[in-house]
C-alpha cells in the first residue's frame, strides 16, 4: 500500500510543470484547468520566475495542477492520500471527492481570498528549528503569535503581526533557530478570517463524493472518507493550524510499503525521512 502526499505552498519552483507537460493528455488538461483557474498555468509553470509564482493567488492553483499531472506517473494506486495545506485539494481530487477541475478552480479561489485577507494588514510567518518547543510556544503566545503549522517535532511555524515576528526572532526562544518565511501573510491563523466566508460559500456549493481511498486530514490526522466532512475541514483549516506531525503519525500506524510525494516533490519527503526513519520514500520529480 502506497501513501501519496501532495505538497503545499512554499514548495513551488520555476519550471516545475516542464517535466510533465509531455504526458498524454497533459496539454488538454492544462487548458481546461487554466480556464477554470483564470490563469495561464502552462506559462506560469514553465517560464515564470520565482517571484511571480510566489504570489499566493498563483502558487495555489499551480501547485494543485502540477501535483495532479504528476500523479499520472504513479506506478501503483494510492492506498491513502494526504495533502499539506493547499495540497489537501489535490489529495481530495486523487481520492475522487472532487474532480480535478473542481480542485484546481477551488485552489485558485482559495489563493485569491487568502491573498486578499493577507493584504488587509502586515502579517507573516516564521519557522522554528530545534530547541525547546514548549518554551518557544510560550514566548510566541506572549507576543501574540499563533501556531500555524507543526510539521515534525522541533519544526513549528508561527504566524502573526510583523513586529511580533521580529521580536520572536530576536528572542530565539528555547534555543531554537528562527527563520523568516517568504509568505504574503500569516496563513492558518486568525489573520485569514476574512477569507473564511467567501471560501465557505464556495465549498457549500460543491457536491462532494465519498472518498475512494482514505484521506488523512491536516487538522488532526484523522483518516476519513466522508466527502462533506473533508470539505468542511478545508474551511476551518484556513484559520487553524496544519498538524502534519499528526498526519505522519497516522501514516505510520497504517504501515505503508512506501510513501510517495507528488511534484514538486522534496519538502514532504524530507519530513517523512525525519519522522519515519526506515519507511521507503520516493520524491516524484519526473515521469521516469
How remote is the C-alpha of 149 from its chain's centroid?
Answer: 10
The burial of 288, by beta-carbon neighbours within 10 Å (0-12 exposed, 13-18 middle, 19 or more buried), is given as: exposed
Q: Long-range contacts for 159-163 (Cβ within 8 Å, ≥24 apart)? A: 159/123, 159/124, 159/125, 159/126, 159/185, 159/186, 159/187, 159/188, 159/189, 159/191, 160/123, 160/124, 160/186, 160/189, 160/191, 161/121, 161/122, 161/123, 162/122, 162/123, 162/124
The Cα 284–Cα 262 span in angstroms is: 5
Question: Of the residues 188, 190, 201, 222, which is catalytic?
Answer: 188
Residue identified by cell 499563533 is 146
85 is catalytic: yes
Distance CA 287, CA 9 (A): 22
Q: Which of 70, 71, 85, 105 is catalytic?
A: 85
How many Å apart are CA 6 and CA 242, to the nearest integer? 14
List the beta bridge partners of residue 148: none
Within 10 angstroms of residue 63's Cβ, the number of other Cβ atoms is 33
Which residue matches cell numbers 520565482?
50
Asked if residue 67 lies in contact with residue 262, where contact means CB atoms within 8 angstroms, the answer is: yes
Beta partners for residue 177, in sequence order: 129
Active-site residues, by number, are: 85, 188
Amino acid at each position: 500500500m502506497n501513501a501519496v502526499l501532495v505538497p503545499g505552498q512554499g514548495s513551488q519552483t520555476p519550471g516545475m510543470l516542464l517535466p510533465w507537460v509531455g504526458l498524454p493528455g497533459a496539454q488538454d488538461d492544462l487548458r481546461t484547468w487554466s480556464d477554470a483557474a483564470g490563469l495561464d498555468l502552462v506559462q506560469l509553470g514553465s517560464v515564470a520566475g520565482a517571484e511571480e509564482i510566489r504570489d499566493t493567488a498563483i502558487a495555489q492553483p499551480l501547485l494543485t495542477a502540477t501535483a495532479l499531472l504528476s500523479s499520472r506517473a504513479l506506478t501503483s494506486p494510492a492506498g491513502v492520500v494526504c495533502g499539506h495545506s493547499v495540497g489537501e485539494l489535490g489529495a481530495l481530487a486523487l481520492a475522487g471527492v472532487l474532480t480535478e477541475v473542481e480542485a484546481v478552480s477551488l485552489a485558485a479561489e482559495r489563493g485569491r481570498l487568502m491573498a486578499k485577507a493577507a493584504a488587509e494588514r502586515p502579517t507573516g510567518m516564521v519557522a522554528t528549528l530545534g530547541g525547546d518547543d514548549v518554551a518557544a510556544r510560550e514566548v510566541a503566545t506572549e507576543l501574540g503569535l499563533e501556531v500555524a503549522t507543526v510539521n515534525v517535532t522541533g519544526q513549528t511555524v508561527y504566524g502573526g503581526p510583523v513586529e511580533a515576528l521580529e521580536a520572536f526572532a530576536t528572542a530565539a526562544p528555547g534555543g531554537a533557530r528562527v527563520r523568516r518565511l517568504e509568505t504574503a501573510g500569516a496563513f492558518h491563523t486568525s489573520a485569514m478570517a476574512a477569507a473564511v466566508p467567501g471560501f465557505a460559500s464556495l465549498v457549500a456549493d460543491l457536491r462532494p463524493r465519498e472518498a475512494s481511498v482514505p484521506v488523512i486530514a491536516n487538522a488532526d490526522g484523522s483518516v476519513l472518507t466522508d466527502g462533506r466532512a473533508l470539505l468542511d475541514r478545508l474551511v476551518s483549516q484556513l484559520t487553524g493550524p496544519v498538524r502534519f506531525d499528526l498526519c505522519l503519525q497516522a501514516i505510520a500506524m497504517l504501515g505503508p510499503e512506501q510513501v510517495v510525494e507528488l511534484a514538486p516533490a522534496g519538502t514532504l519527503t524530507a519530513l517523512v525521512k525525519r519522522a519515519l526513519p526506515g519507511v521507503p520514500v520516493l520524491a516524484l520529480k519526473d515521469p521516469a
